Amino acid sequence: MDTTPETLQLGPIVRTVTRDTIAGYEEILGIGNPLHFDEDYARETLFGGIIAHGMMSLAYVSEMMAEAFGAGWYESGELDTTFVRPVRPGDTITTWGTAERNMGGEGQIRMVCEVYCENQMGELVLKGKATARASAPIPGVPTLPA
């Protein structure tokens, strides 16, 4: 990750969600919720149709954080997110974030980041915070005590 102050943006990661990607998640997760695969059932719910698993959006955030922080994400990453609206087949999801602050303590630097997923209309579908260990403070981002 380039650490100059002008590049504190994370991502973007852009993915198009299809019925096939939703079916693939259902196959892996094995949840069995018809909201993710049964059009007739899903149409009768408050969502009005099939929606993607929330884990799909979280996976996009995780992918972005892994690209930025590598092992620091895999070994100590944390997410605190809110699902804002459903992701539907045909949506194109853009995942991005910003490094907000360095938190130092006991020789460790943890980056606190704001993270977002938006659909093709610019509507938030997920928002939250992610933290990951960094090898050094990122210039231009304030360092606060842990």
pTM: 0.86
Q: What integer pLDDT is reported at residue 3 of this predicted model?
A: 43
Q: What integer pLDDT is reported at residue 79 of this predicted model?
A: 97
Q: What integer pLDDT is reported at residue 132 of this predicted model?
A: 92
Q: What integer pLDDT is reported at residue 141 of this predicted model?
A: 65
Q: What integer pLDDT is reported at residue 138 of this predicted model?
A: 66
Q: What integer pLDDT is reported at residue 139 of this predicted model?
A: 66
**CATH architecture, range 5-145:** Roll (3.10)
Asked whether 47 and 94 are in contact (CB, 8 A), the reply is no
Spans of the chain, pLDDT less than 70: 1-7, 105-107, 136-146
Q: What integer pLDDT is reported at residue 109 of this predicted model?
A: 83
Q: What integer pLDDT is reported at residue 143 of this predicted model?
A: 64
Of 97, 110, 115, 98, which Cα lies nearest the Cα of 144?
A: 110
